[in-house]
Amino acid sequence: MTATSTEIFYNLISLNDTEKLNLIESIRYDSPTLYEEVIRLIDVEKNSLKNLTHLFAKNAHDMLDSQSFVGEKIGKYIIKKRIGEGGMGVVYAALRCDNTYQQELAVKFFRPSLLEIFGRDLLFLEAQLLASINHPYVAKVFDAGEYQSHVFIVMERVNGDNLAVYKRTHKADLSTLLNLFIKICEAIEHSHQNQVLHADIKPENIIIDENGNPKVIDFNITQKLCTKETQNTLLALSKGFASPEQANAEHLTHQSDIYSLGKLLKFLLEGFRFSADLTQIIEKATRHNPKERYGVVFELRSDIANFQEKRPISNKKNRPLYVTQRLVQRHPISAVLFTLFIFSLFSFTVVIVDKNYKLTQEKELTEDMMLELTNLVFYGKNVEHEQSFDSILDLTRKRVIANQSLPAELKQKMLLSMLQPLPKKQKIEVECQDDC
């Protein structure tokens, strides 16, 4: 069976240079047509490699480029100093200088290679989408333009430390960090509502301002335009926080940002001892399959808020014992008072039932004793009254002692009463009158 040109091409990849030449020469001699097909595939590969190498070289040149815009006036902005640099571009501090009002700004210049790869219109379209985001926890984008083959955007300048520095230097407690995370989620949630993914969520892209509030910066406006090759060239992701689908240059959805938020939450909790609830929240947000993560950022934010407020998280809300536990944690004083009330009510009920049982028992015993005494009194025969009564008492005492169902306390009282001496009979003398 004759090999195809594609099969031969892939066989060539695994050979050294000498072996490649020998194989190509033999094909050229045996089948000139097949030889031409293989050569065309080799040329295509060379051109692709050449283009990709050019992109890498150009990007590397951009990264090392010492060009500075400091002191230049670009439109109504004057560039003051360089304040940051990343894989996508360089950021400068700037001032507005159009004689209207003073305003501190940040101007980000994208690398020329981005303009070559994506085109001016696409970059400006993404910048326009960023300008549509208006949220207190997102650095505002005011303007965009082009200067010396550099596309730039003008943003709000935020003074403060990035989240990594803030966590290290401020020694914030767990509750403070979780409240910060909730605000970051609110910012990303708002951007998603405006159809904008961040696509590069990491501690360095979150600035904590002077009031202790977060400002999300540096949205990756080229991410959804990247292919596998250009993404690697442009260093368009942060491996510690990027989702699996982003690392594979696949189509991104809201779940990609949710994955990065889960990784950010894990970063914030490093060094703290925290409950299983937070562990489950992180695990759900960072699952490999996007469909198994939170559907929207609101769900992730709500679970963190529920944890803060000692309410059930979404994964456990159908567990009665857990829900009760969280209720008690939420209202400890009320729970203690309620428990005491239930205990008191139970104790009172037990006492009432016990007393009622004793009264019923005593009533039955009393009725039995009265019936027995009545029988003894009315059915005693041929016995003088005093002797008959003494005999009745003696017999009653014996029966009381022998009665096992009679409570000891009642038995004691009855016996004491029966031991009391009977009053002696007094003889009453009646004086008779003459007419008696």
Q: Are residues 54 and 92 in the same domain?
A: no
d(CA 312, CA 330): 10
Which of the four pLDDT bands, split at 50, 70 and 90, describes residue 94?
very high
Q: Are residues 182 and 53 in the same domain?
A: no
Q: Are residues 39 and 112 in the same domain?
A: no
More confident residue, 430 or 358: 358
The verdict on residue 378 lying in a domain is yes
Q: Are residues 222 and 89 in the same domain?
A: no
d(CA 425, CA 353): 46
The verdict on residue 115 lying in a domain is yes
- Residue 122 maps to which CATH number? 3.30.200.20
The verdict on residue 234 lying in a domain is yes
Which of the four pLDDT bands, split at 50, 70 and 90, describes residue 56?
very low
Q: Are residues 220 and 269 in the same domain?
A: yes
Q: Are residues 245 and 207 in the same domain?
A: yes
Q: Are residues 92 and 210 in the same domain?
A: no
- Residue 307 maps to which CATH number? 1.10.510.10
Instruction: Convert 239-276 to b/e letters by CB count within 10 Å (16 or more is b).
Output: eebbbebbeebeebebbbbbbbbbbbbbbbbeeeeeee
Domain boundary among 130, 157, 184: 157
In order of 84, 85, 150, 152, the CA distances from 90 in angstroms are 6, 4, 10, 9
The 10s digit of each residue's pLDDT in 25-53 is 677 767 777 777 777 766 655 554 444 44
Range of the structural domain that residue 18 is part of: 5-64
pLDDT of residue 318: 82
pLDDT of residue 413: 67
pLDDT of residue 419: 64
222: nearest Cα among 285, 161, 153: 153
Q: Are residues 166 and 257 in the same domain?
A: yes
245: nearest Cα among 211, 282, 209, 197: 197
Strands 104-110 and 89-96, sheet pairing? antiparallel
The H or E element containing residue 35 is helix 32-64
Domain boundary among 64, 98, 114: 64
The 10s digit of each residue's pLDDT in 164-182 is 999 999 889 999 999 999 9
Contact 110, 150 (CB under 8 A): yes
